[in-house]
Amino acid sequence: MSDSSSVTPVAGDLAFTRDDLRGTIPEAAYAGALSFMRRRFTRDLTNADVAILGVPYDLALSGRSGTRFGPRGVRTASANIAWSGPWPWETDPYEQLAIVDYGDCEFDPGKPADIPGTIAATARKILATETALLSIGGDHFITYPLLQAHAEKHGPLHVIQFDAHTDTWADEPDRIDHGTMLWHGVREGLVVPERSVQVGIRTHNPDPLGFNVISSREVHQQGPAEIARRIREIVGDGPCYLTFDIDALDPSAAPGTGTPVIGGLTTYQAQEMLYGLAGIDLRGMDLVEVSPPYDVSEITALAAATLISDMLAVYAARPGA
């Protein structure tokens, strides 16, 4: 009979009981408080390098609703991979960086006109503490107020966008739409389009507003390593913002999204391209458009959680890190 007194107890609910903001401690995937990757829930950013912010917003969707449940779904799925750092990265961002889960952006859905300003103000508050921000959507509109806050701090940004759609359709200045946020971004000088790139595109748009566009066909034909090289050449050494719309992935890999388009990226291609971006000057990140009501066996949320870990690894590998 084994001596139970010799078994070291594993601390549960690491989202609340974790002492060190760095490091990975295994916890049962089926139990405990579901922060992102078991990071500590806190709004004290004194010692934090990166804050994870949920933005449960889907009032700007043009198709199927449900991305308001995205942050919760991604956090839940992340419990399945929280026992280890991302593979095949040589460095572990959860060991190298002090990462916290800041919780969700709070806004009143009954006052939709106020929501963009609330998202931007929340991002500004976090960035003012010299903490980097990774946001989980929510629909893709949230990138617009997030870009406002990041551009105020870092200047006009070189955007790397993984997406099935360019999101540069013309709009009215005061409209809220998840397909026009980069039209707003270019119009306001938040983005440097000629030094920005959109990857995985497979829908028509008559005016890309000067963005460099790499279609999904080019990814399939040229391979992820070559595409990563092209991305790095386009963005150069300028300050980058990375936004990943989960519909960049093919619906076979990510059915849980509002506007799925066939012919998309595989998870392997997406991960390999992110792996090839190590060393860019990454300043901010988001992953959007996960819609759990349309997911199957949480595969979309799992892909999102894993890609976020890869994005954090890209951030950990930035110059001077």
Distance, in Å, from the CA atom of 277 to the CA atom of 232, rounded to the nearest integer, reads 7
Instruction: Establish whether 245 is an annotated binding residue.
Output: yes
Instruction: Establish whether 158 is an annotated binding residue.
Output: no
Beta strands, E only, 105-179: 132-137, 158-162
Instruction: Establish whether 237 is an annotated binding residue.
Output: no
Give the residue among 216, 208, 210 at the shortest CA–CA distance from 245.
Answer: 216
Distance, in Å, from the CA atom of 70 to the CA atom of 140, rounded to the nearest integer, reads 12
User: 222-230 long-range CB contacts below 8 Å, 24 or more apart?
Assistant: 224/268, 224/269, 224/270, 224/272, 224/273, 224/276, 225/272, 225/276, 227/199, 227/273, 227/276, 228/272, 228/273, 228/275, 228/276, 228/277, 229/276, 230/197
Give the residue among 177, 185, 317 at the shortest CA–CA distance from 243.
Answer: 185
CA dist 298 → 66, 75, 77 (Å): 14, 11, 7
Distance, in Å, from the CA atom of 78 to the CA atom of 55, rounded to the nearest integer, reads 17
**Token digits for 274?**
């992110």
Dihedral sign computed on CA atoms, order 245, 248, 251, 254: negative
Instruction: Establish whether 220 is an annotated binding residue.
Output: no
Instruction: Establish whether 150 is an annotated binding residue.
Output: no
Helix (H) or strand (E) holding 126: helix 115-127
Give the torsion through C-alpha atoms of 186, 161, 69, 61, to 10 deg. Answer: 50
Residue numbers in the known binding site are: 140, 163, 165, 167, 245, 247
Residue numbers in the known binding site for Mn(2+) are: 140, 163, 165, 167, 245, 247
